[in-house]
Amino acid sequence: MHVRFLVAGDTALAVEFGDRIERALSERVLRLSAAVRASATPGVLETVPTYRSLMVHYDPLATDSAQLVAAIEKLLDSTREVAQETRLWRLPASYAAAHAPDLEAVAERTGFSTGEVVRLHADTCFHVYMIGFVPGFPYMGDLPASLVLPRREDPRVKVPAGSIAIAGTQTAVYPIESPGGWHLIGATPIRLFDARSARPSLLRPGDQVRFEPVGASDYAAICAAVEAGDYQVCCETVRA
């Protein structure tokens, strides 16, 4: 696979693997990100994985783009077949009408019942490609092809925190109240972003996520437990 190195000013370098959204490219990005961090390459400050590329931020007083390209080229071959461990999160989700203002419209446009839309969404194990848009916002794929829809023509000014949404081939959870143009089909009481935490973003690129439907009483109980700081999100380590 051809790899491109793109200079991004005098403090960053982008390593580009392709031009598509697919897990194979994401896995290469994530393997390289882990390898760069593990190698303690002089001058590297941070790695930021995206769908198809890795942005490497560096200290220009300690290295430059040419030295960084040379160092990363040596790492590329060694990362091709490296297996990784990742985290599988199980997020409780309500698909009730009060939390899913677009569910009926999604069902109508896709030709399914609302129950079938929920089943298809909840039966999918999603891959976190990247974090962006607002702090902690996970871009996750891959949505079943039968649920793929373009974004809403009339974006909302305010989308409540915790809203579960779909658009294109992806799903996401809005971690904070913000504008948004995706279709809202549910909600989770779990906080995906907490500025007070040592790791503010709950999810990170490479994680896997499953949504587990819960009823109204369970949803309310989990909300109360989250507010009280007494809820532990179910997470397990799996082999990628």
| Tens digit of each residue's pLDDT (9 = 90 or more) over 30-82 | 999 999 999 989 999 999 999 999 999 999 999 999 999 999 999 987 766 55
Task: Please give the mean pLDDT across all residues of the chain.
Answer: 94
**pLDDT > 90: what percent of the chain?**
90
Kindly indicate whether the domain formed by 4-79 is annotated with CATH number 3.40.50.1000.
no
In the chain, ranges of CATH 2.40.100.10 domains? 85-239
Question: Is a pLDDT exceeding 70 seen at residue 83?
Answer: no
Q: How confident is the model at residue 2 (pLDDT cuts 50, 70, 90)?
A: confident
Which residue would you say has higher pLDDT here, 93 or 41? Answer: 93
* Segment 94-101 mean pLDDT: 97
Instruction: List residues bridging with 55 in a β-sheet.
Output: 14, 48
DSSP state of 151: P
Q: How far apart are CA 165 and CA 157, in angstroms?
A: 15
Cα-based distances in Å from 91 to 9, 101, 135, 213: 39, 20, 18, 9
Kindly report, residue by residue over 219-228, the tens digit of the pLDDT.
999 999 999 9
**pTM given for the model:** 0.92
What class, spelled out in words, does domain 85-239 have in CATH?
A: mainly beta
Q: Give pLDDT tens digits for 114-145.
A: 999 999 999 999 999 999 999 999 999 999 99
Residue 163 identity: S
Distance in angstroms (rounded) separating the CA atoms of residues 233 and 240: 20
How much is the average pLDDT of 99-103? 98
pLDDT value at residue 1: 62
Res 239 pLDDT > 80: no
What residue spans in the chain does CATH classification 3.30.1360.40 cover? Answer: 4-79
